[in-house]
Amino acid sequence: MSLNRFVPHSPRPRPPAAVWLLAGLLLLVLALVVGVFVNWPRIFQQSVLWLKQLHQHLAILIQLVQANPRQAGGGLLSFSLAYGVLHAIGPGHGKMVISTYLATHPARLKMSLYMTLAASLLQGAVAIILVSGVLVILHLSSRYLHLGEFWLEKSSYLLTAALGLMLCWRAARRGGLILARRAGHHHHPDGCGCEHHHLPDDRQLQAADGWRTRLAVVLAMGVRPCSGAVLVLLFAKVLGVYVWGMLAAAAMAVGSSFTLLLIALLVFWSRHLAQRLARRHEAGHVAQAAWTLVSFAGGALLILVGVVLYLSAQPMFMGGIGPFSH
């Protein structure tokens, strides 16, 4: 008689609740991505229609400001603020840049908010500088304005791809560091006199590349001017109320910063929660390897997005519509 029937079988360990939670969140994200992908033509068409309606309302408000600036000025600034908030909700490569960076790289909350705010305000400043330089200082036609906007847009997409390369390079170096540690290498202070290979730790890698990466994130988001700000500045210049146009563009930048700050907070807290769950249920080296792989995937995604947007960008006067302005 086999003794196995009398030996109690140990129950299989059940996955922790955090694993089920993460799996459910992953399925939800995948469902949302598939839904957006399937309905993207309809979503894009509807977003363009809403954008045209907002632009028409902006043109009407600027005309009212021309007729009576004291009464209509407040309405223009309030609508511009709301426009910035709503415009930043739509699809945009800037949100993808900041979300990918904050989701794949450790950063303090204050620094994350500073980066997001700086990128939002830079968009408004670039729009004001572009329109002022082309129309006010150089007295060129609007065709040159749209051409300058087009090349700034292309530059922003190139910076996005370059940022992706930086993230991939950092992830590859961190992966090499993890492999070297697993192979038996260990850290020594400089000048210790031993013959072992000296490896930088994670903090040294982050300190060496942190400011460069943060600057690349801000530039990739902010170099491309907000299309709505350029439009309101153009209308204001034609109607002779350019100062009100600059104020409206600044209000748009502030409004978009509100939305982007909320997105940054959401991504930051989500990453913090994922890190806590990973430390609780996974070994340290496994969690490090997983985050390194995620960082590399995020960089590869930014490279793909930057290249695709760069190749598909068209000047506004050739019929191109830029839905990825934030």
The residue among 310, 255, 316, 291 whose CA lies nearest residue 58 is 255
Range of the domain at 135: 78-188+213-316
- Whether 233 is covered by a domain: the verdict is yes
Could you give the number of structural domains in the chain? 1
- Whether 226 is covered by a domain: the verdict is yes
- Whether 248 is covered by a domain: the verdict is yes
pLDDT at residue 199 in the model: 42
- Whether 124 is covered by a domain: the verdict is yes
- Whether 321 is covered by a domain: the verdict is no
- Whether 163 is covered by a domain: the verdict is yes
Half-sphere exposure of 89 (CA within 13 A, CB side): 8
Could you say which residues of the chain have pLDDT below 70? 1-40, 43-44, 90-91, 177-209, 275, 277-288, 290-291, 315-326
- pLDDT (tens digit per residue) in 23-35: 565 566 566 656 6
- Whether 8 is covered by a domain: the verdict is no
- Whether 204 is covered by a domain: the verdict is no
Mean pLDDT of the chain: 77
pLDDT at residue 197 in the model: 42
Question: Are the C-beta atoms of residues 58 and 267 closer than 8 Å to each other?
Answer: no
pTM of the model: 0.72
Helical segments of 14-141, H only: 17-38, 40-67, 69-87, 93-104, 109-131
Share of the chain above pLDDT 70, in %: 67
Q: How many C-beta atoms surround the C-beta of residue 296 within 10 A?
A: 20
Helical segments of 202-283, H only: 202-222, 227-239, 242-281
pLDDT at residue 242 in the model: 94
Residue type, 188: H
DSSP codes of every residue in 147-180: HHHHHHHHHHHHHHHHHHHHHHHHHHHHHHHHHH
- pLDDT (tens digit per residue) in 64-117: 999 998 889 999 999 999 999 988 876 677 888 888 888 777 777 788 888 889
pLDDT at residue 321 in the model: 42
Unique residue bearing structure tokens 């957006």: 36
